[in-house]
Amino acid sequence: MKLNKDFLAGMRGALPILIGVIPFAMISGVAAVSVGLNFWETMGMSVIVFAGASQLVVFQLMTAGSPWIIMVLTAWVVNVRFTMYSATLAPYLQKLSTWRKALLAYMLSDQAFGVSLSHFLATKDEINHRWYYFGAALLIWVAWQISAMAGALLGSLVPASWGFDFAFPLSFMALMFAALRDRPTVVAALSGGLIAVFAKGLPYNIGLVLATLSGIVAGYWLESLKLKQDAAQ
């Protein structure tokens, strides 16, 4: 069997980004153990969900004793960004059976999206986009699972007295700053955050969902104002 050259190019393209993937996956493994999951539960979740930020969100909500449905809803909200990636990559991932599309979709990650799309936009060569994406996404998936496993094994060595639960808001903070690109996104974050503080007392942690929605509305509204102003000029 000869390996497809675009598949290998995709793997090579994803290689540098593993520097970010490996520690984050290990953190997710350590975090899972710190909230009381055993090794198999940690790996089961890692394979079934395969979306680090939402996994950490679930852990934080577990430590807060949130209801099941709030954990599920919040994790979905955090992962809604995948629809953007999926819509953007869709033209490159056609002419495949539904099963293969499903496999490629399952492996979609922030990093696979970033690596593939930037390559597709930059290259002038005739390449097989599906194989390139598959190579990048697969390497990231494998690195993620191995690192999560290492994290799960290391996690049992971290004593509870370290207060590792504080690592959740800290990691969300880094992800949040990475999402701040312009004034409307900053306003979305500030509104979402402040409303979450004021709505903290509401039952079932519902304030979290309300705050997120308010943040989206605030950012959208500000951007609409700007678009109108630009159009008027």
Touching another protein, residues 32-51 (CB under 8 A)? 37, 41, 44-45, 48-51
Tokens standing for residue 173: 């903070």
Site for another protein in 155-194 (CB under 8 A): 162-164, 166-180, 184-186, 188-194
In angstroms, give the least distance from the CB of 153 to another protein.
18
Task: In whole angstroms, give the CA distance from residue 197 to residue 214.
Answer: 13
Measured CA distances, 71 to 10, 114, 146 (Å): 34, 27, 25
Where does residue 194 rank: exposed (0-12), middle (13-18), buried (19+ CB within 10 A)? Answer: middle
Of 34, 111, 147, 214, which one interacts with another protein (CB under 8 A)? 214
In angstroms, give the least distance from the CB of 75 to another protein.
4
Note whether 204 binds another protein by CB under 8 A. no
Whose tokens are 């971290």? That residue is 158
CA angle, 136 as apex, 110 and 123 as ends, to 5°?
95
What is the contact mask toward another protein in residues 95 to 114, using x (rule: CB under 8 A)? ---x--xx-xxx-x------
Of 9, 33, 58, 115, which one interacts with another protein (CB under 8 A)? 58
Note whether 137 binds another protein by CB under 8 A. no
